[in-house]
Structure 1
Amino acid sequence: MINRFAAIPKSLVQNRILQHILFWLCSFSVLVQFFALENQITDIDIVYTLLFHISLVFGVYVNTAVLIRFLLKKEKYALYLISVFCLWYFVALMNQFTFEKLSDWIVPDYLFISSYSFEDLLKFSFVYLALSTLLKMSKFGFYALEAQKALEVVKREQAELELNVLKSNINPHFLFNNLNSLYALSRKHAKETPEYILKLSDLMRYMIYETKGRTVSLENEINYISNYLDLQKLRCNSDININYTIQGEVGSQQIVPFLFIPFIENSFKHGGANQSNSNLIDLQICVEEKNISMILTNTIADKKNRNIGKVGGFGIDNVKKRLNSHYPERHELTLAVRQDQFKVKLKLDLNE
């Protein structure tokens, strides 16, 4: 109920009819005071002001409804300037005609003559046309700003949806595979078992609880990638050569989560994990102040695995979409297939 009443002032302010009524009421109240011959406003002052507004109302609405809408808004600037100049001159002529001819027909009981020179009427005409143009353009700017805000909200919601889809895509099969590996390790009574259980716990906690914001700590994201690779080493057999190096100092940088992991997961799904020999997955991450780069190389088993249209089941197009959404003009992505290798190069500028 409170929200309903709170929305009333906003709806009134945004009501176009009310806006126009208030504008002309303000105009009338100012001009009737300006035209009044005495301190007290009389009937003739009111009638004169109303007649004076006939040409002004005509000029304002021809300008806003026709010239601005069909010329200025469509960037036909030269044609608009010519047209508004003609309208400016015509409004002054119309005002002069109103008091010399039209007033005798509208209010025959009053005798009026044009009280102002043609140069003065041009000044009135100029003020109202200029004011209507400024108000209309500011209104366009306001609506454009509102549209931009709405678009940003949609983009954020879309990014959150894509992130949730990505999480759900990674979570199930990765979790089950690693639980199986840990089960096998525990049956051997290996002393590394608690360490790997802790890595899996840290990885799942990060994915579920620490990636709800738009960005995360770069240090946490890199730790997540390291845990992921260590767990993959545990799962994969000894024939697969998994190398990764992380260079540079990680400070207080922030990064959008899960931009690298689809490519890394893809290297295991379509690359080295499917090979029978010469298995290689090589990851290099380099951090330089506010820039981070990744070079990922993996061997390809055969031609059927050379399709780079999919990345970890999430799709390269979706990864590109997230990069374009969060890092417009601040990223470089290169995908290449050469002989028996698939290489990904990704550079990010982390400056907001």
Structure 2
Amino acid sequence: MALVDALPARGDADRLLAPLRPRLAQLRPARPLRFCRLLFRPLDALIVPAPKWRPTSLTFPRTLLEPLAASVREAMNPDIRAAVDAVIAQRTTHDAEAVRKAGTMLWPAAGETLCAGISLRAWRTAGLPVSKHSGLARAAGAVILHGVALHEIAEASRGRREPDERQIETLLRQSANHGPETVSRILAVLLDSMPHAGATVLALAGAGFREDLLHGHVSSETSRGIGGRIYSARQERRWTQRALADAVGVSRSAIAQWETDRALGLPENLTRLATALGTSVDWLLHGNQARALTEAASQEELSILELYRRCSAHDRRVVRDMMQRLARRMRHPETYRSEE
């Protein structure tokens, strides 16, 4: 592995590592902190061998990484590139501070570059149709753009700290601006990096991220009638508009606008509004004709989550530990064959 890592141009030699990658993912040995490896660190859970990649999947083929990284280097601000290179020089993937510092500079800038669209001169080396270039680059950028938050959440999980639910909720809401596929990718990365908190992640995803929110807006058709539901829920609580505004963290005029079916500023505050009113986003959007939740959480999963919420603190820890073991088993089934 070290020999392949030391090669300036890995080419066919990189295929020598292919059979070892599942084991490497489990062991997580220290690897040189190269530009390409740092750039795609937020996508680790989504990267698959090229033969296993399918255009309809939410994953990324490994052959895409090197040519895309070269294009990002060429397109990005030279000062940022030089600063990143200085931080990662002679460092490894186990140098947590170097990863954090360099990633904080690289991921937002690279994500914006990829989302804006870039030319890919070495695309032929990816072994993929030219028609897939633009879509894959933008899809990768939409996840990498949130690399800092994903890294912070993963580091907290490795330290066995409780997940920051507000940070996860904010991440999901922001990723919704890039469409439902990006939200699905973000969820996959979160569940991979913090399997012991899978119930929390799914609960946040299922709590209000419906199809309307996943597209980053509340349409005029959807918003019709939402004002009346906000008003009736507020009246049931016997709250003034000011009291509700304080609970949500917005101005009183915002509440007044929402109650007259004007949705300006509503999407980003919808989850907090539902929580303050003691109802669900599902009901606010669709009333008693609420549609099924998006595939982020099935009915069976929601039943499990409801049971989880009723558990004591001790029982929740037991459930989280069990989920972590199951997640490891699903990712590395060969390790558990002796148990069957």
In the superposition, the TM-score normalised over structure 2's length comes to: 0.26
Structure (1 or 2) with the larger CA radius of gyration: 1
In the superposition, the TM-score normalised over structure 1's length comes to: 0.26
Structure with greater strand share of residues = 1
